[in-house]
Structures are given as structure tokens and as C-alpha cells.
Amino acid sequence: MSIRNIAIDKSANLSIDIVVCDASGAPIDFTLYTANACYKTHADAANVTYMTTNGYSNGVLNVSLTGVETANISISRYMYEVYATHTASNTTSRVQEGIFTVRGGLC
């Protein structure tokens, strides 16, 4: 699991590739997983918003939001996490977490 803080301008597209390898250094085949990413204002917040995730066999997990989606997010800081569930074993692992900041223009 890694920690990565993300900052994006309101109304901009977001696309982040997360590369994940197992303990031996081999890329994880994310086609064998169901991946999810979400953010919320704080750990105890009831409202959770999900981001688009796509997993690939080369160890890459992509998380994205469109400019239309980020235009509808209030300028603020949020907590986010990305997690994956192995479809055969139903085991869930957190892949990445951090602070997600949506910035606005000053003028």
C-alpha cells in the first residue's frame, strides 16, 4: 500500500496510473480483481463518491474522473483510497490512499 497526495484544478480531467507489484516484484494482474476508488470529506463522513477504475494485466490500475465530474466537486480537501478485491478469493487489499485536493482559480 502506498500513500500519494493528489491535487487537481476544478473542471480538469484526472487520470492516475498506479503500478502495483507483488512481494517478488512481479506486476499484479488486475484483470483478476474488482477495483474501486472513492473519496469523502473525512473518515467518518457518510457520503462517499466513487471514481472510475480500470485494471490491467501489467500491474497498472488507472483511476480517473472527467472534467464534468470534477466541475461538480466543491473546492476542498478530501480523503481517498483505492482498493482491489480478488474475484476468486474475495480478499480485499488497499492499494493506495492519500489526500485529494480540488483547487479553484484565484481570479
**Model pLDDT for residues 28-78, shown as the tens digit of each residue:** 999 999 999 999 999 899 999 999 999 988 999 999 999 999 999 999 999
Which pLDDT does position 82 carry in this prediction? 95
Which pLDDT does position 102 carry in this prediction? 96
Could you tell me which residues come within 8 angstroms of residue 24 by beta carbon, excluding any fewer than 6 positions away? Answer: none
Mean pLDDT of 72-95: 95
Length of the chain as a residue count: 107
N-terminal to C-terminal alpha carbon distance within the chain: 38
Which pLDDT does position 40 carry in this prediction? 96
Q: Per 3-state DSSP, what percentage of the chain is helix, strand, and coil (rounded to 5)? A: 5, 55, 40
Which pLDDT does position 107 carry in this prediction? 60
Which pLDDT does position 95 carry in this prediction? 93
Per-residue pLDDT band at 1 (split at 50, 70, 90): confident
